Each structure stands twice: as structure tokens, then as C-alpha cells.
Amino acid sequence: MFNNVLKDFKAFAMRGNVLDLAVGIIIGAAFGKIITSLVNDVIMPPIGLLLGKVDFRNLFVNLSGISYGSRAEAQAAGAPTINYGVFINTVIDFIIVAFAIFMLVRVLNKILQPKPAAAPPATKVCAYCISNIPVKATRCPHCTSELKAA
């Protein structure tokens, strides 16, 4: 019985869509780390500098009533805090990831979108006078030659 369960699990785990999902989750986690680093180490420092040398990760509201110099000190002391600076960083992370995914899906949709079929020609050339005539014509309106059916 255990062998059947193990065999069924192996068949389930080795299906293509499960492996694709696993790869997607791993790459997504790595991409998330890259975006977090981009926000924390590249985007937020210049924004903080422009806003008066503010480090967004240290923006917090202390709920204990005791004054602390930084968020880390308050958390080390076990004080309850609302860490809105970390929340701002997380929101910016999300916006960048959502925009990157949007752009990826947009490009993939354009690549994978089926090309519209070419419309059949509306005219043909008369074999006798070389004039353009409607495809359904049985006689040329220019030279009055009788045309063969297509």
C-alpha cells in the first residue's frame, strides 16, 4: 500500500505543470529578493535624502509611551510599534513587482497572440486586358472577355 502511495506521489510530482510551478516559485522568490534589494538599497536612499535624510526603515510609531532612538531599539526592548516605514518599502516592492509582471505578461501576450488571417483578395487580374476586376466577375467590364471560373 505504501508503495502505491509513493508511486502515485512520484507520478504527481513529476508531471510537467508541478515542476513548472516549482521552478516559477523558486524564480519568483529570487526575483522578490532582487526587487527588495533594489528598493531598500537603490531607490529608497535617494528618496530619503531628498526628504531630509530620512531612513524609511526607521519610521515607526511607538505605542508604549517610552521614547526610543530607533525602531531597532524599540523592538529590542519589546515595545509595541507600528512600522509604517517598513510598510512603505513593502508597498514600493509590490508596485515594482506588479509592474514587472504586468510588462512580462503584456510582452508574452503580444508574442503569443495569433496573427489575424490575411483577407482573401477582393480583385483579380483579367487575363486578356490585365485590368483589376472583382473576384466573382464572370466577364471583364473593360474588355468584355468571358472569364474562366476560379
73-132: per-residue pLDDT in tens? 888 888 898 988 889 888 888 888 888 888 888 888 888 888 888 888 889 999 889 999
The CATH 1.10.1200.120 domain(s) of the chain lie at: 2-113
Mean pLDDT along residues 41-63? 81
Q: Which CATH number fits domain 2-113: 3.40.50.2300, 3.30.2270.10, 1.20.1050.10, 1.10.1200.120?
A: 1.10.1200.120
The pTM score is: 0.53
Region label for 96, one of left (φ > 0), alpha (ψ between -120 and 50) or beta (otherwise): alpha
Quick check: 133 and 112 in contact, CB under 8 A?
no
Got the DSSP string for 47-112?
Answer: HHHHTTS--GGG--EESSSS--SSHHHHHHTT--EE-HHHHHHHHHHHHHHHHHHHHHHHHHHHHH
